[in-house]
Amino acid sequence: MAGSYLRIASRRSQLAMVQTHWVRDELGKAHPGLEISIEAMATQGDKILDVALAKIGDKGLFTKELEAQMLVDRADIAVHSLKDLPTNLPEGLMLGCITEREDPADALVVHEKHRDKTLATLPAGAVVGTSSLRRLAQLRHHFPQLTFKDVRGNVITRLEKLDSGEYDCLILAAAGLGRLGLGDRIHELIDPSISLHAVGQGALGIECRHGDTAVLEQIKVLEHRPTALRCLAERAFLRELEGGCQVPIGVNTRFAEPDRGGDLILTGMVASLDGQRLIRDEVRGDQNNPEALGIALATSLREQGAGAILEEIFATVRPEA
C-alpha cells in the first residue's frame, strides 16, 4: 500500500514549478488523501548564467541537487524536463515514470520587426539566440548566413532580451512555451528536416529511488506508454553515443501505424559545431524493444563518422578539471 505522504524536489524556475505543480495536481487527483509537498531549489545550471552551458559541464547541471535530496531521504521524487536528465543516473536512483509528451519541436520566436519573416527568410546577419549546441549546429548547417549568439536565463528572461533588441530571434522548445502560457509567442515550428529535437524534449521524467515500490506505485499513474517507448529509444541512442545534454545530437521518433501497434521509427543526427558536417540516419523496428533501436542507430551513425565528430566536440567543450 502506497504511503500517504509524498515529497517532490524541483528546480525553482517558473517553468519547473509549472511542471511540478502539474505533477502534484495529477497525483492528487489519482490518490485522494495523499499529502504532497514541494521542495524547490536552485541547481548549478540555474546559478551560473554568465557562462555558456557547454563550458560548465554537460551532465547533471539541472539535476544533481534534486537527486541529492532523494539520496539523503529529504525527497521521494524529482520532476525534470526529461531532456535535462542525464541518461546515466546516480547509483540508487531510477527513471520511474515518463509523462505524455507535448509537441517536442523547436520553435522560432522573433522580435516584432521580423513578424513578416520565417527562419528561411531572416536577413543575413540576423542574430539568433540559443544556448543549445544541438540547435546551433543544425541551424548553422542550414542557414550559414545567420549570426548565432549564446543566450542564458529562464524563458521569461530570454524573451525580455529578445524584446529589448539584443537578439533578432530565439530558438526555444515549443513545449516549454506552451506550458508557460506563451504559445502565442511561437512564430514558427521548425520542421524536423531542419532541426531534430533534443532527446526527451517535451516530456517530463519523474526520478525516484530504486526499490521504492510504494512511490513507484503512486507515480506510475502518470506514465504514458507511447511517449515512454519513444523516449527510451532516444535515451538509449544518446547513452550509446556517450553524449551529454550539451552536444549536437538530435532525434525524432514516430510510430509507423500509431493506432495499430506499428513499428517505431527513430531518426537521429550528429553534427560538428560549425555545422559543416552533419550525419543523419533512421532505423525502424519493434516498438516493444526501443532501446535496441537506439543502440542500432547509434552504431550506424558511429560507423558513418559520428564518433570522430563527437570526440572533437568533447575535446573542445569539455570543462577544465
Nearest-angstrom CA–CA distance, 116 and 98? 38
User: Count of residues for the chain?
Assistant: 321
From the candidates 84, 106, 168, 212, give the one annotated as an active-site residue: 84
Rounded CA-CA distance 297/274 in Å is 23
Does the active-site annotation cover 259? no
The set of catalytic residues is 84
